[in-house]
Amino acid sequence: MWQHDAVPHAPANGVHLAYETFGDPADPTILLIMGLGAQMVSWDDEICHLFVDRGYHVIRFDNRDVGESTWLDTPDLDVPTALMAALGGDASHAPYSLGDMADDAVAVLDHLGIDAAHVVGASMGGMIAQTLAIEHADRVLSLTSIMSTTGNPEVGTPDGDLLNALMVERPTDPDAAVAFGVELSRLISSPVHFDEERARRRVERELARGVNPLAVPRQLLAIISSGSREEALSALDVPTLVVHGRMDRLVAPSGGERTAELVPGAELVLIDDMAHDVPAVHVESVVDRVVALAQRATAAA
């Protein structure tokens, strides 16, 4: 399914990707990549405007299978069987990989005539951003990997109960769907800083844009089938920032620690009171760290 017309779309590898831009295209570009089943609006407008205020052009987009981007049609895909096969090393059943999603991100840059960008990914978006830096090094000016991991199953291991909660089918009743989304957000977020109203606004916005019930299992399949990036990460030559919350139960902090350990010269920032979210209290400081990285990368170029 291709959701039409609400926002611009970029053609990409057989799909169409919804995107939005903020700021002056003549400024350096920051490309924001979101995570598992999440839409581009999970990058709050506030975050986008903070980057613009600091002199950057911002792109955010819906990954394939979410929001207003193309929802794939895979009627013959048996997701549980495919997941078990992928865990056993057989990726042949996966309809797409993290490499395909990194290619999608490149297609958005191509569509907008942008040669290279400062790439920021959160969770699965961090995995896509890492893959983008590995496979399209000339398009990545700097890399920021937030609450993500390396693809090695021995690090960043999720809490099993939390992962199961993500896989539960979302209710179809609108009010129940909102309540479900808010509770899911509560489960993965910092218990210290969880903002129920902020979560509710985001969930309601996502539901209005369209929630694909197959996005999470198919994207999880992409993650598992893509394997480890550890060897390739150790060969990267790009200014890199790794941000992780010490309270993260969905992607354990070891995932961020290992990423920073592998990428030469990477800066690691661990935030004590952050889980699998960027609470409002930390948004501006994370933005400032990304901007500082971008400035260092520009100065070193």
Name the residue ranges covered by the structural domains of the chain: 9-300
Out of 100, 103, 104, 248, the active site residue is: 248
Averages of pLDDT over runs of 10 residues in the chain (301 residues) are: 68 96 98 97 96 98 97 90 90 94 98 98 98 98 98 94 84 92 94 94 94 92 96 98 97 98 98 96 97 96 76
Active site residue 62: no
Quote the strand ranges of 34-93, DSSP E.
57-61
Active site residue 248: yes
* Interval 29-59: pLDDT, tens: 999 999 999 999 999 999 999 999 999 999 9
pTM (2 d.p.): 0.96
* Interval 137-174: pLDDT, tens: 999 999 999 999 999 999 999 998 888 888 888 888 98
Return the pLDDT at 170. 84
In the chain, % helix, strand, coil (3-state, to 5) comes to 45, 15, 40
Active site residue 123: yes
Out of 123, 148, 185, 225, the active site residue is: 123
What is the C-alpha separation between 271 and 278, in angstroms, rounded? 10
Q: What dotted CATH number matches 9-300?
A: 3.40.50.1820
What is the C-alpha separation between 243 and 268, in angstroms, rounded? 6
What is the C-alpha separation between 190 and 148, in angstroms, rounded? 16
Out of 57, 93, 244, 276, the active site residue is: 276
